[in-house]
Structures are given as C-alpha cells and as structure tokens.
Amino acid sequence: FTKLLKLEADEVARTADGHRVSLFINSGMGFDGEYAEQEHIEGIGLYRTEYPFMMRQRFPSEQEQQLLYQHVLGEFSGKPVVMRTLDVGGDKQLPYFPIVEDNPFLGWRGIRLTLDHPEIFLVQIRAMIKANVFTNNLHIMLPMISDIGEVEESNRLINQAYNEVSEELREADHAAQVPRPKVGVMIEVPSILYQLKQLKGLVDFCSIGTNDLTQYLLAVDRNNDKVAHLYDAYHPTVLNAIKTIADVTNEIGIPCSVCGELAGDPGGAMLLTGMGFTQLSMNTQNLLKVKWVLKKSNSEELKDLVEDALDCTRPDQVKFRVNRYILNIG
C-alpha cells in the first residue's frame, strides 16, 4: 500500500471518472521546501502565521517577518501561497501578549484582535506585500471574520499598507509596480454564512475552516474533553452548512476552498468533492490517503453520497454511508 502511494506521489488528484481536485498543504513552520517541488501539490492553502509568532519572545519586526514570508513564497514560487493574518486568542496564546478572558473562544480572537491593534496588522501586511515583490504568489487570508464590516475595515488597512509599501519602494528606486495581493476570508464563524452574498466585490476567494465552523455551529469547545464526543464535522448540520457555502460561493463566483481538518480526512474529502469543491488543503501526512480515495471514487456517485448524507439525522449515519462506499471501492 505504501509503495503504491509513493508511486502516485507526482500525479495530480483526480476521481476515477477524471474529475480534477487540486490539493494544497497546510503549513506554518517554513520547512516545506521538499513539498514545493512535488507536482501534485499545487501550493499552500493555509499558512498559519501565528506559529512563528508563538515561537518567539516578542513580536517579530517587519523585517523579520518579511524575511520569513519571502522564504516561504520563494520556495513555492510559481504556486499560490495563502498566508493567514495572525490568528491568536482562543487556545493560541503568545507568551508576550497574554489574554485573560472567561470565554476565549468567544472573545478576542483572530481578526478582532488585529483590527483593535492596527499597528500589528499593518506591520504584518506590509511585510507580506514586500515579501511578495519578486514572486507575486501571495494570497492574504483573514481569520475569524464574523461580519462584512470587518472585511471592509481589513481591506481599508490592506490598501493603506499597499500604498505605503509602493511609496517606500518607489523612493528606494524600485521601478516595477508592486504586485497587489489577492485577499480572502476564512468562513468559520456561522454568522458570516448569512452574509456570504455580500462578500461579492469585497474578496477574491474564501476558504472554509471546518474546525472552528464545527465548534461554533454545534456550540462545542474543540478542546473540552467533557463534550469532545459532541464535536463532529460529520454532523449533518455541519455538512448542510458547508454545502450551502459551496452553492452560494459558486453562484456569486467566488472561488472557495476548504482548509479545516475535514479536507484532510479521506471520507471528508470525498464528501467535499461530492459537494462540488475542487480545492482542498490539508496536513501533508493526509495528502496521499486523500488522493488515493479520490482516485477510486466516481464524482457522480459522490454527489449521491452527499445527498444521502445531508438527509441523515446523526453523524454515525453519515459515517456508516461513507465507510460503506470506501469498502466498496476497495
């Protein structure tokens, strides 16, 4: 089995009937050079910038950030890299910026924190834009967006950073036009599900964070053992929400990928493909398993599987159907 997986490492992912699915990796450390070379990996679908922030004793300077981002963008030159702006708060803490709250997952997290501290946001965006000057493969992604106002405010700051960097580089005799990054949002807070159509014209892409979407839709803390059994991305409620996002983003013409854990789960990847997603981003260790099940699946059958799953009432019923399909394809 392992040999078979290795043999297929360089083929792009397709279902048995030829339906193409683009696979991307989730990253955050910057040691992924070996993956950049592999043809079947089409880029980084989620670069979690908070990891390098968490490993330091103070906020990294603009120049330190620029060097780090430049390294990642350079390794993946020619392929898109989706860099998410700082997503701390909740369970992710910076040792030098402690946040004490009663309900951290409902509190000062992700974009909420950085919009309250535009100096942190602007430094990061400027570093990203500078890092992108030679490779032009940067996509900026905003975490924990819960309403349109946050997108508008972020766009305003990104524009400001872009103008500042352009001006600075012009003064330094950099002749070429600074590339404008694509900007997108994470779909992971349920409230934005009801404003999806209003994203049109404001963002270039979006990506579903199934980890937080599951946690917030089911009101189950991802990290609380007492309720862990209730946390399940196979819950029909979660799957119906994801299907709605697929349909609405398709209707308004905004490309939508999935970068939460569900995309790297073989059964989850099958369901997402059946819903119409063609871009999945996952941890590297799941890539070949996902590619293998997709290769064995038929896209029309996956659509039927999804229809069946959406009508289920419990996660175990969905899992039963998915496992039965996997057993049948061998």
Residues in contact with ligand PEP by CB under 6 A are 46, 48, 87, 188, 209-212, 259-260
Nearer of residues 42 and 265 to ligand PEP, judged by Cβ: 265
Considering the complex, state which of residue 260 and residue 268 has its C-beta at the smaller distance from ligand PEP.
260
What are residue 283's phi and psi, to 5 degrees? -65, 145
Q: Which does 232 bind (CB under 5 to 8 A by kind): Mg ion, ligand PEP, none?
A: none
- Closest separation between CB of residue 189 and Mg ion, Å? 9
Closer of 222 and 303 to ligand PEP (Cβ):
222
Q: Which helix (H) or strand (E) holds 44?
A: strand 44-48
Q: Give the number of C-alpha atoms closer than 13 A to the C-alpha of residue 246, restricted to the C-beta side.
A: 20
Q: How far apart are CA 54 and CA 72, in angstroms?
A: 17
Q: Would you say 214 or 297 has its CB closer to Mg ion?
A: 214
Q: Which is nearer to ligand PEP, 135 or 214 (CB)?
A: 214
Name the residue nearer to Mg ion (CB basis): 25 or 161: 25
Half-sphere exposure of 292 toward its Cβ, with a 13 Å CA cutoff?
A: 19
Nearest to 35 by CA among 22, 20, 24, 49: 24
- Min. distance of Cβ 84 from ligand PEP in angstroms? 8
Selection from 117, 110, 130, 135 nearest residue 65 by Cα: 130
What single-letter amino acid sits at 60? Answer: P
* 227-244 core/surface letters (b: 16 or more CB in 10 A; e: else): eeeebbbbbbebbebbbe
Query: In the complex, what is the shortest distance from the CB of residue 120 to ligand PEP, in angstroms, rounded to a whole number?
Result: 18
Of residues 212, 221, 232, 261, which one binds Mg ion by CB under 5 A? Answer: 212
Site for Mg ion in 5-24 (CB under 5 A): none
Indicate whether 209 belongs to the interface with Mg ion (CB under 5 A): yes
Which DSSP string do the residues of 11-39 spell out, in sequence order? Answer: SPEE-TT--EEEEEEEESSS--HHHHT-T
50 binds Mg ion (CB under 5 A): no
Write down the least CB distance from residue 188 to Mg ion, Å.
Answer: 5
User: Which CB sits closer to ligand PEP, 147 or 304?
Assistant: 147
From the CB of 85, what's the least distance to Mg ion, in Å?
12
CA–CA dist 159, 273 (Å, integer): 35
Sequence-distant (≥ 6) Cβ neighbours of residue 122 within 8 angstroms? 157, 160, 161, 164
- 48's contact among Mg ion, ligand PEP, none, with CB below 5 to 8 A by partner kind, is ligand PEP
Q: How far is the CB of 28 from ligand PEP (least distance, A)?
A: 9
Nearest approach in angstroms of CB 220 to ligand PEP is 13
The rounded Cα 66 to chain-centroid distance in angstroms is 21
Residues lying near Mg ion in the complex (CB under 5 A)? 188, 209, 212
